[in-house]
């Protein structure tokens, strides 16, 4: 953001926390939790989400010896080993699984939440590691986003590209090797390139790489993705009840709803939108179900009905808008880091000058992706140095 001159554009989310739906009722995530790991005794004791036995079991994390094996394991396995099944199923699993629209029993701890692995490794306990992270982060978790929307990131980046031909909204059909360099075919244009940065979801990357690096393509084809949809809803604020839901809530799969989570946009990002409207976002899509099969009318209808049931808002919002995100949630399953490293090593050998970047390979979210791009470029610079 600094290098793009966008720091002034950044707005922070307001302080607040989320809730988890359990048996049809909302329960706040214990205040002070980091990645769902509780850090404060009092907020655990006061939580009605966790049972007394869950609370006793999670305290064992402070005395259990850390695991020594470096082998990857699932997020569910790591959290259950440290905090017990109750806390995994009721608190940490729904929160962390929700971030990937995935199943914590399949997601790789090392790839999806390396912080948790570091907590255990460095502090000997998830709770102690989470406490240290909270102290380092200065307390409340904050999200940052450009005030004019994420699009400014792409706009500014394209403005800053020197000597570049920018073609937006054009699908790349193929990438071919030609005497040591590449030809990228996008639409009806054939673009020569020395360096190709492939920043697409694994199914697309696998298809494009199949002719030039089939072994890398077959590794990438094994990375499953989940499609998601977001329904934006607006309500007349004057006729809506005051919501006691903080930034929003997460819906575990066992609750049997179609939506997986909802954000109270008006509370989380108060500077956005009109003051007379209450804005919410409802999320669809989890491992094993495809929301893109539903029509816009169905998605809006289900979102509004379920939000009405959980939050008591009117069942007829003044506005409903659907955004579809095909293959938007790659699932980094156990063994993911090895698979990506192998694919990259094959590319470095068989297709030098072709870089693989993005959330599917380096972790969800802009910070992890930017760090991954920097690592790829510096690895390339050092391998081509004399
Ligand atoms: C609902 C939702 C909410 C999220 N919220 C947050 C958040 O609050 N904070 C956060 O940090 N992260 C968030 N994320 C995660 C974040 O969006 C992703 O980690 C990030 O967008 C991944 O970036 P990427 O470049 O790897 O892939 P993408 O953003 O998926 O970009 C891949 C691009 O490739 C394009 N493409 C596909 N095929 C072709 C082709 N043949 N030729 C050319 N282009 C092609 C696609 O159109 C797409 O634009 C959220 C994700 C979702 C789905």
Q: Which of 101-105, 148-152, 372-376 has the highest mean pLDDT?
A: 101-105
The whole-angstrom separation of Cα 367 and Cα 115 is 14
Burial of 297 (0-12, 13-18, 19+ CB in 10 A): exposed
Residue 142, pLDDT above cutoff 90: no
Q: pLDDT over 90 for what percent of the chain? A: 77
Closest CA to 193 of 206, 204, 180, 207: 180
Give yes or no for residue 261 CB within 6 A of ligand 1: no
Distance, CA of 379 to CA of 377 (rounded, Å): 5
Determine the distance from the C-alpha atom of residue 75 to the mean position of all C-alpha atoms in its chain, rounded to a whole number.
14
Query: How many Cβ atoms sit within 10 Å of the Cβ of residue 145?
Result: 18
Q: Give the position, in ligand 1's atom list, of the atom nearest the Cα of 199.
A: 25
Could you give the CA distance from residue 372 to residue 348 in angstroms, rounded to a whole number?
Answer: 16
- Contact status, residue 192 vs residue 176, Cβ threshold 8 Å: no
**Complete domains list, the chain, with CATH:** 26-136 (1.10.3110.10), 167-223+332-384 (3.50.50.60), 226-329 (3.90.660.20)
Q: Are strands 319-330 and 225-236 parallel, antiparallel or unpaired?
A: antiparallel
Task: Please tell me the predicted confidence (pLDDT) of residue 138.
Answer: 64
pLDDT band at residue 90, thresholds of 50, 70 and 90? very high
Mean of pLDDT over the chain: 93
- Is the whole-model pTM more than 0.75? yes
What is the pLDDT, as a whole number, of residue 271? 81
Q: What is the pLDDT of residue 386?
A: 57
Nearest CA to ligand 1 atom 35: 200
Average pLDDT over residues 275-279: 93
pLDDT in tens, 304-321: 999 999 999 999 999 999
- Probe residue for ligand 1, chosen from 359, 370, 376 as the CB with the greatest number of ligand atoms within 8 Å: 359
CA angle 244, 96, 220 (to 5 degrees): 140
> Per-residue confidence at 273, pLDDT binned at 50, 70, 90?
confident
d(CA 326, CA 171): 14
- In this prediction, residues 292-313 reach a mean pLDDT of 97
Q: Is the CB of 94 under 6 A from ligand 1?
A: no
Q: Are strands 181-186 and 189-193 parallel, antiparallel or unpaired?
A: antiparallel
pLDDT digits (tens, 9 = 90+) for 185-226: 998 999 999 999 999 999 999 999 999 999 999 999 999 999
Q: Which of 42-51, 139-148, 165-174 has the lowest mean pLDDT?
A: 139-148
Q: Which residue has the higher pLDDT, 50 or 363?
A: 50
pLDDT at 246 over 90: no
From the CA atom positions of the chain, what is the Rg in Å?
22
The DSSP secondary structure of 309-360, one letter per residue, reads: HHH---SS-SEEEEEEEEEEEE--BTTHHHHHHHHHHHHHHHSTTEEE-SHH
Phi, psi at residue 225, to the nearest 5°? -130, 155
Assess whether the C-beta atom of 187 lies below 6 angstroms from ligand 1. Answer: no
Structure tokens at 145: 């986003």
Query: For a substitution probing ligand 1, which of 146, 184, 197, 201 has the most ligand atoms within 8 Å of its CB?
Result: 201
| Torsion over CA: 313, 314, 318, 323 (sign) | positive
Residue 364 alpha carbon, nearest atom of ligand 1: 19
With residue 84 as reference, give the H or E element that holds it.
none
What's residue 331's pLDDT?
A: 97
Is the C-beta atom of 201 inside 6 A of ligand 1?
A: yes
């Amino acid at each position: 953001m600094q290098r793009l001159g966008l720091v002034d554009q950044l707005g922070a989310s307001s302080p607040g926390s989320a809730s988890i739906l359990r048996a049809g009722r909302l329960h706040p995530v214990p205040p002070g939790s980091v990645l769902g790991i509780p850090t404060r005794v009092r907020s655990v004791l006061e939580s009605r989400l966790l049972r007394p036995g869950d609370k006793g079991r999670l305290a064992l994390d402070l005395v259990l010896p850390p695991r020594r094996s470096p082998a990857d394991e699932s997020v569910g396995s790591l959290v259950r080993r440290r905090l017990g099944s109750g806390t995994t199923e009721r608190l940490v699993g729904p929160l962390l699984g929700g971030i990937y629209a995935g199943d914590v029993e399949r997601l790789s701890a090392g790839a999806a939440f390396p912080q948790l692995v570091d907590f255990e490794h460095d502090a000997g306990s998830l709770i102690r590691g989470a406490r240290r992270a909270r102290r380092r982060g200065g307390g409340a978790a904050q999200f940052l986003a450009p005030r004019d929307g994420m699009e400014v990131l792409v706009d500014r980046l394209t403005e800053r590209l020197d000597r570049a031909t920018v073609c937006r909204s054009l699908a790349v059909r193929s990438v071919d090797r030609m005497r040591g360099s590449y030809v990228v075919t996008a639409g009806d244009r054939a673009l020569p390139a020395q360096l190709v940065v492939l920043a697409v979801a694994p199914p697309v990357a696998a298809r494009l790489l199949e002719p030039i690096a089939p072994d890398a393509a077959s590794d990438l084809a094994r990375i499953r993705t989940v499609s998601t949809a977001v329904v934006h809803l607006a309500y007349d604020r004057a006729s809506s009840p005051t919501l006691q839901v903080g930034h929003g809530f997460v819906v575990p799969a066992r609750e049997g709803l179609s939506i997986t989570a909802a954000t109270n946009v008006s509370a989380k990002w108060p500077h956005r939108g009109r003051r007379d409207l209450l804005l919410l976002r409802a999320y669809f899509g989890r491992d094993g179900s495809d929301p893109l099969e539903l029509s816009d009318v169905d998605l809006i209808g289900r979102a509004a009905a379920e939000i009405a049931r959980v939050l008591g808002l009117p069942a007829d919002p003044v506005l409903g808008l659907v955004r579809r995100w095909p293959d938007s949630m790659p699932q980094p399953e156990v063994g993911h880091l090895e698979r990506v490293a192998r694919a990259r090593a094959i590319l470095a050998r068989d297709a030098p000058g072709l870089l693989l970047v993005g959330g599917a390979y380096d972790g969800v979210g802009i910070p992890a992706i930017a760090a991954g791009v920097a690592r790829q470029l510096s690895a390339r610079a050092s391998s081509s140095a004399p």
